Structure 1
């Protein structure tokens, strides 16, 4: 079954909605310029109420190890997601302490072989649409053939412009380890739409059953 990460959680109501709908992971954005930024103290209250078996993922952009590690330990995160321009040596600093998702924004110059130098230091790769103006949550998609090629380097979280309308096709074409959605299930930045969340996860489960046959 393809796993589902609902990212950009900013409040308990949205977390409870995603959990009830069957999300496997919730993402909390600790990048202050983001409209989905959540203060660590607020995130800690939400994470403390999450059930076992659902991963709490902290999203960081070009943060140093000391800062991210302190937040991760204080909140009791399960996984760190590095969503900036972190070089392999910076990622390696995290790898002995945390399960890691290393994110890449897929623009015209991206090549799947870039992942090779990171694969020893990360557990998962997340591929997101590129934007000059934002780090994630842009709603921008990309050519999914890149994600198919990237699978040779590790387990892939497919992100970037996923919606109820296209996530089934994305799963059938890419067969990723997981899908990650933020703006595609929002009513407004930082606020989830209940119907979209439920339908998105239902569609993922349906497509997962199809590819398992």
Structure 2
């Protein structure tokens, strides 16, 4: 069964929603974003998070020391990296589980995407997270890409699908990509705030697929 990560958790009300609906992962953003949280706030949110939900920290070009300290202090289950972090940087985060992102834009063809994913797959990562890139911006764009470039892709790591997912297109995405996990943020929001109804519908569609 495909697992579900709800990303961009930043309010105690968000945690209360997740505790009722029990996605597999909750994402906390520690890099520049409108959903960025401080270490202190994240600590409070994670303390109140149901223990069945695994906390994920999202970083982009943060210093290695900051990522390590945050992961250790918050006991993160996964470190998710969206920047220029190289193989050496990733090795230094052992033994934490790492999800490293690969960005796909509208011009990417199958060979380009495969090359990007193969490169990351050789790193010591648990999963490759494939997200959309729009106008050079990566992560949190709320825009999806052509999932067909991932169809029947044979990689040796788990694949996490992100980028513009919502309750209306999730079945199509699952059918096409068959990922280990799906990652959603703005697609389950109403006016920038996490919506109980949208998260509920999204999780049900994934788990009933």
Q: Same fold (TM over 0.5)?
A: yes
Q: Secondary structure at the match of 1:141?
A: coil
**1:157 Cα deviation (Å)?**
0.7
* Corresponding residue to 2:156 among 143, 153, 164: 153
Match 2:103 to one of 105, 108, 119: 105
Question: Which among 117, 124, 128 is matched to residue 125 of structure 1?
Answer: 128
Q: Distance in 2 between matches of 1:151 and 1:38?
A: 36
Q: Give, in angstroms, the shift of residue 140 of structure 1.
A: 1.1
- Give the unaligned 5+ runs of structure 2: none
Q: Which one of the candidate residues 192, 203, 206 is aligned to 2:205?
A: 203
| Structure 1 contact 125–157 (Cα < 8 Å) conserved | yes
SS in 1 for 2:138: coil
1:171 is matched with: 174
Following the alignment from structure 1 to structure 2, what is the Cα–Cα distance between the partners of residues 19 and 135?
29
Q: Which has the higher contact order (CA 8 A, sep 6+)?
A: 1
Map of 1:210 onto structure 2: none
- What is the CA distance between 1:202 and its match in structure 2? 0.9
Structure 1 residue corresponding to 2:138, chosen from 131, 135, 138: 135
Large movers: runs of 4+ above 4 Å: none
- Return closer, same or farther for 1:61/1:150 CA change in 2, 3 Å cut-off: farther
Count of aligned pairs: 204
Distance (whole Å) between structure 2 residues aligned to residue 72 and residue 115 of structure 1: 25
Does structure 2 retain, via aligned residues, the 8 Å contact 1:139–1:160? Answer: yes
Q: TM-score under structure 2 normalisation? A: 0.91
**Within 5 A, what are the aligned runs for 1:70-109?**
70-94=69-93, 96-107=94-105, 108-109=107-108
CA contact (8 A) 1:28 1:56 kept: yes
TM-score normalised per structure 1 = 0.89
